[in-house]
Amino acid sequence: MDKITIKDLELDAHIGVTAEERARPQKVLLTIVLERDLGEAGRTDTETTTTPYDEVVQVIKDVIADRPRKLIEAMALDVAREILFRRMAVTVTVEVKKFSIPRTKYVSVEIQRSM
């Protein structure tokens, strides 16, 4: 299957187990891999035959801004569900990176869902 990747989209999110942690926005990085047939887009060079990257990014921003979450697992699942609901991919992989554990680069969750 063909893939479109949006790598390390940086957003601010209200995320964390405690209310104190959720009170202030924290940086998260999201990597999204959209799997779908891109053959027609490659053959025709027509933007209407692919998934518009800017629309995917806006969907992700809207999902993240929608509500505070305790877990990055919930964030990843909500993003995946919305992308699939909008039929932007047949399979989507979402990785969310959070920078909350001292002396680590990050903590991440990666999920994959299909239609």
Instruction: Name the pLDDT band for 59 (thresholds 50, 70, 90).
Output: very high
pLDDT higher than 90, residue 71: yes
pLDDT higher than 90, residue 40: yes
Give the pTM.
0.94
Task: Return the pLDDT at 74.
Answer: 98
Q: Domain tally for the chain? A: 1
- Residue 40, domain extent: 3-114
pLDDT tens-digit readout, 73-90: 999 999 999 999 999 999
Task: Return the pLDDT at 100.
Answer: 87
CA distances from 30 to 12, 39, 48, 56, 95 (A): 11, 26, 25, 12, 6
List the CATH number of the domain containing 97. Answer: 3.30.1130.10
